[in-house]
Structure 1
């Protein structure tokens, strides 16, 4: 079976200091997969390495049984909002239309059809009325919705989202998870770097617990438990023990 993503023995080091050590996992098709772990665990680095934005020291990565370059049109990426230059002089519609460049080609102008697709994606995330608004004038939640619309415009089969719920209001978070479930229903596969342990069981089918290496990986109901969380977070998890959602875990 050809999987959307296969990662084998990925090792990454910054200034000779290991950040990820022999990380391996295979992603099933049509699932929402959460990547969780403490700060500094390498979650964002993992996604960036997979996408070729950070060099790896060793290991192999396959997308649908092939290379990233050959499958790039099938891959979408929503970066952390804090890494984006929001002062860049462009409006929301232009940002979303950029998601069509894999279909258009970088040196070609978008067609009317591409503009209409971009508008439909803005409508999908409740942002069409802000199409002409400069992105720096949008709130954090609105900016995140625009970037989700851009990912939708790509019409990818495999999506990577780096902390899409950070800094958004409750309405935006609900809109995002609704959108992710719609993508899943269409057979899309989505990997999400996530920080809120209380929503993991509600949001994700599978979960990858990471702390420089894979602590556990599999179906959420099988691997998201207190024992694996303690192994992942160590003493940093102590304050969560009293919370009912985790206290019930065996």
Structure 2
């Protein structure tokens, strides 16, 4: 009986598809999600709209009574009072009003705001600093910032800060852990993300051009981009373990 031929075992090279089982290493086609938060319709926002309408009515009536009365007589005796009230209302609304904010997205692709049909996005790996103050949570990147108002988007701010603590802890270590409440799992609409467009970008580790999307690997924590042949053991941006 002939002896079985020994089988050759292929040696896995660092960063190949066989290594995708690492703790945070992901392929481009792996599913990603985010949460979408609408601006909250609070009592303050309603009062702001009512106050703005009253200011407009008072200003309009005052202008008409002062200069555009059709009888050609002297201005209405209450015209100046209406003008003054309208100006006072307008200033108060501008200073203290609670205006609606843009829809906010938070998830695997970073933080984003919707401006009409466009989504302005800042990836976690591109965040250079996080600031909590002035009534907003602000994520700063190179040449852009994402601002989440605390009054109109409290759930979005809580979710964004909690995710930042997990994904880019070095950027939020100056912010008190109790500064915002824990996010609610019921808040926000869960959306599936399309695979990222990465052809033509460069590997963060080797600066090698990624010509084909199949050659790309992503850090599942901060989204940093690597070529499959140059994946480091730990992410150079967030220090997440990539290879086992």
> Normalising by structure 2, what TM-score?
0.24
Structure possessing the higher radius of gyration over alpha carbons: 2
Write 1 or 2 for the structure with the bigger share of helix: 1
> Normalising by structure 1, what TM-score?
0.24
